[in-house]
Amino acid sequence: AQSVAQPEDQVNVAEGNPLTVKCTYSVSGNPYLFWYVQYPNRGLQFLLKYITGDNLVKGSYGFEAEFNKSQTSFHLKKPSALVSDSALYFCAVGGGSGNTGKLIFGQGTTLQVKP
Amino acid sequence: GAGVSQSPSNKVTEKGKDVELRCDPISGHTALYWYRQSLGQGLEFLIYFQGNSAPDKSGLPSDRFSAERTGGSVSTLTIQRTQQEDSAVYLCASSLGGGANQPQHFGDGTRLSIL
């Protein structure tokens, strides 16, 4: 069965510092990995995806993520955090054997960027 | 362009009543997904449509839940005889195709409260 783990409920960083939000996954077959961001009372916004190819994926708003197959991880990163990056971040996995396209989400990580 | 539209944005109803939630996907998107977001359970997949067919209904929690999609466009999620545990935010997403490698675009959700 597919699963996603986000080990941190909350990540706190100072504005201007680099940020990392962690994600590990479990899937049989090739994973499709996604990051989404959710602002209060809004739906999820797509940030980036890994399907195949280069392990470093660049996405919206300066975010990037690195796919590591041996560690089954897909951590979200940004070199310099902004206060406006404060939100709830979800990692998700799709694909794998028998998958119809549905996404399995992690529990979410709240990112707090302080001025 | 127009994104995924969901209505109503908020719904408060009494236990035992039936409710209908509507989703209007992005024009041209053939795949449509329903998810449920609650504090205790996180983001859960409910059902997936490809066109008007639902090849994956595996996430519907009970036979009180049903969904349909007509004309390959608008979808309605119906919950009969609502229970307090049905209180959650119901999110709809659409994607260009049904492949797991396609990013899903989410609406802002319907916040359902059962009294």
pLDDT tens-digit map of B50-76? 999 998 999 999 999 999 999 889 999
Contact call for residues B113 and B19 (beta carbons, < 8 A): no
pLDDT at B1 over 60: no
Gyration radius of chain A over CA positions: 14
pLDDT in tens, A54-98: 999 999 999 999 999 999 999 999 999 999 999 999 999 987 666
Measured between CA atoms, how close is B98 to chain A, in angstroms?
A: 6
Q: Report the residue of chain A nearest B55, measured CA to CA.
A: A100
Contact call for residues A6 and A22 (beta carbons, < 8 A): yes
Q: How far apart are CA A32 and CA A15, in angstroms?
A: 31
Q: Report the residue of chain A nearest B5, measured CA to CA.
A: A43
With CB atoms and an 8 Å threshold, state whether B101 touches A32: yes
pLDDT in tens, B9-57: 999 999 999 999 999 999 999 999 999 999 877 899 999 999 999 989 9
Asked if B95 is an interface residue toward chain A (Cβ–Cβ < 8 A), one would say yes
- Residue A110 exposure: Cα atoms within 13 Å on the Cβ side: 5
Measured between CA atoms, how close is B18 to chain A, in angstroms?
A: 24
Interior/surface letters A90-106, b for 16+ CB within 10 angstroms, e for the rest: bbbbbbbeebbbbbbbb
Q: How far apart are CA A74 and CA A77, in angstroms?
A: 10
Q: How far apart are CA A34 and CA A46, in angstroms?
A: 8
Q: Which of A32, A41, A106 sits opposite B100 (nearest CB)?
A: A32
pLDDT at A42 over 60: yes
pLDDT for res B72: 85
